[in-house]
Structure formats: structure tokens, C-alpha cells
Structure 1
Amino acid sequence: MLTDTHTHLYSDAFNEDQKEMMQRAKDAGVTRFFIPAIDSGTTQAMYQLEKDFPEEVFLMMGLHPTSVKENYRAELTHIKEQFKKRNFYAVGEIGIDLYWDKSTLEIQQIAFREQIQLAKKYQLPIVIHCRDAFDEIFEVLETEKDANLFGIFHCFTGTLEQAHKAIGFNMKLGIGGVATFKNGKIDTFLNQIDLKHIVLETDSPYLSPAPFRGKRNESSYLALVCKKVAQIYNLSEEDVANVTTQNSKEVFGI
């Protein structure tokens, strides 16, 4: 049994074949799909996805850092209102992204911190998006570090030192297609990290693993990520699937 801890299955990229794509994933052994939010514009599509696949789909709620704009206060209000209406399994994806826009750093930091505090209020994990912002992410986590801070460092692409630092903040490392890239680098040190700190993800429709790099990603490709991680750890794919799914249960509580 495989768990895709991060997949945007409500994306427009799946409009033409969503049901078939979900069936391919199930055929590949993926039975649990955790769905991160982007902003208020994706909320209804997420709810529809959950309605269509109620046994397999588990929703998060949060404001993606690239959606932190001038209206971020209204977006944060939207998120808080959703939490008053229903349950979610994590606050995510949240964080800091300095690849696209460095000018919004200050409000990204504010939004990140407030959503961490929201997660603590509801005793939920956070799912972190980090791009070109490890130092800035760690700075916020340091100020918020306590027994109630935990979650997943989504799409981890840092160094071994940064991996240990993330784990020190009670984060699992989300490993996806990058582990299969020739220049991905994390495959060179991943086996130095105990598998108990690892969860698997696709980030569909983005970051397809080899040999599909550059094409649309989908959750069935999680099996390729699992295969690569098994090779890195010199374990069976079944063992990796079992351990990482158990790790996901520890994070999400189900």
C-alpha cells in the first residue's frame, strides 16, 4: 500500500481523465491521496474531488506562498473560515518561495507564521513548501518550535545538513520525483537518513519522475519513486511502501 502525501489531483491538468488517472494510481498500489490547497480559487475543486473519491482523498487547507499577494489577509480569512466549517488533515501547503518573487518575503513570513499557529490551534501537521528559502523557513520554524510543531517538508531538495535540520523541527521529508533525476543530488545522501523520517509524494501534476520528466505527473508514478527509494536504501519496494505509509499515518493521524 502506497500513500501519496502530496498531490494536486484537482488540477486542471486532470480535467480530461481524472477518473482514469485515479484508477491507474489504484492499480499501481496507491490507496491514499493527501491533497494540498493553493488558495481560495482551488477550494471548490478540492471539495468536489473529495466528494468524487471519499474513501481515498484527504484534504489539507492553507495558502501557498506564491499566492501570498496584496489580498493575503482575505485569503487567510478564507482559510480560517473553512476550518470553522469542517475538518482537515493538515495546514498546507504553506511556506516561503523566493524563486518567483522576492518582494513578497515579508508578507510570506507573516502568512507562514500565522498558518503555523493555526495548525497548532487545531493540533494538525503543517506541510511546508520551500523554494530558494531554506534559511528563511528555518528562521520562522525556530521561532515557532515547540512540542506542537510537526509535519512534512514537502518536496525536499536540500542538503544532508538541511535534512537533519528539518528533521530537528519534527518534520518528515517528502521525497518525490527529484530523487530519480540525474542531477537531483538527494539520492547521494538519502540513505544516511533513517527511513522513519521519509514519506513519499508525487506533487502531481508537477515534477514527474524519470523516465517521464518534463511530462505531466500523476499519482500512479509514485510507484517509480518508491522503486528509486528502495534502491537507495537497498530495501524491497514493499518495505519502503509499508514504512513510508506508516510514517504518513503518524503525521496525518489516519
Structure 2
Amino acid sequence: MTDTLDITRSALLGGLPHGFLGRAGGVSTGEVAGLQMGFGAEDAPEHVADNRRRAVAAILPGAALVMPYQVHSPDAVVVDVPWSHEDRPRADAVVTDRPGLLLGVVTADCAPVLLADHEAGVVAAAHAGWRGAQGGVIEATLEAMEQQGAQAGRIVAAIGPCIAQASYEVDAPFRAHFTPDDECHFAAGREGHWQFDLEGYVAARLRTCGVAAVDPLALDTYTLEDRYYSFRRATHRCEANYGRQASLIGLA
């Protein structure tokens, strides 16, 4: 990996400090080589800490990085002051209106969503796997933003690197979790299987909530192996571990 970070930004989020980070430019080695940002990846803690420092310096230098303990929940928390790593709450979205905080989530196929109400000065980062998205993490994030003065009709959202429909084969028990209204997010696959559009599903939930605009970046974590970590790709290759990339947003 080189020293240059791979950062994708969304035009909808404009000049706000933000970025969807890839795996380039970090110090982790082995199967998780690169900018591995998760403490749950059996990576050396000092490597993760160094990678996180590099990410903060690239997005919002001097900011306090705030990331939750992700559990595939529908829960969103409002952040007023940074917390310690040991005290981080179990949640899958973080919201703030305080400058100097850099909010983040880690993913490895799930959809990272960065949101902002530019006028109100409120931002959020959400981790939306299928379970969290179906359970209401998008709705909870928007509700928490509105509690801080945002309005859904002004909120814009970008969906970062996640597993694409062509790479996401699911079976009948998986599909049974969804209603007939969600049929449009499933494409026919081999017998007894379908291809699930996670990005489209998350985008649809955002639009149903009335957000002003959605920017799906269409970056497939599974196939773009030089750029992103992927849980499913690692599983298919019988690799012992997999890394996590981060998505960050803050207020200067």
C-alpha cells in the first residue's frame, strides 16, 4: 500500500469535511494490509490507531474521532463530546451539531451512509447492513438529526462503498425477511437464489423518509479488491480475517 489515502467524496456533501476511505495508505499488514480501521479485525491495535490518525489528518485535522460499537442495530446516538474507546455506546449511527467532532462508521460490505443538513449544521454517519436498514437505522438517524434542528427536506445523503447487487447472492430464508413491497430490490439468480440490491434498498428507505437528495456512489466492495475490504469476498476465499474501511464526516 502507498502513503496516499483513497478518499471518495460526494458532491451532495459539498465542502463539509467527509470521505469514504478505501484500504490504500495504511500500515496494517497481511490479509488486512492497508488502512484497516476496525478494532474487531484481529489487527495490531497500534496499527489501527495509526490508521485512524492518518484518516483524521486527511479529513479534518485536529478533530476528535467518534465511532460507535457497531452491532447491526437500528440505534442512533447524538454526540456532544467525544467518548473513550472503552465507553463507546452500542449503536450503528452517530449524529452531531458540534464542530471539531469527526463521526465515523466502519464497514466491509454493509452500506455506509453520510448525511448532512447544511443549513442546520447537523451531520451523521450510519452503518446500514440489511438487518439494520430493515430494522430502522435510517429512520432513527434522521429522527436524531431532526432533534438537533435538521429537517428531512433539507437533508442530503451519500451511500458509500458496499456490496453490489451483482455480488450479493441470497437465498429464500434471506428473502423471507422482506415484504412484497421490497420485491424490486431482488433480481432473479440461480434456482432458489436472488441478487439483493443493498444500496438500492438503503436509497429507497432514505427517499421514503423525504430526504432532499441521495447520492449512491455505486462502488462494489466485493469486486474492487484492491480498493476495499469485503467480508463476503474473504469468506468465499476462506481467509482467516477481513478488514474494515471507514466513512467519516464532521463539522469544521
TM-score, normalisation: structure 1: 0.36
Q: Which structure carries more helix by proportion?
A: 1
TM-score, normalisation: structure 2: 0.37
Q: Higher relative contact order by CA 8 Å / sep ≥ 6: 1 or 2?
A: 2
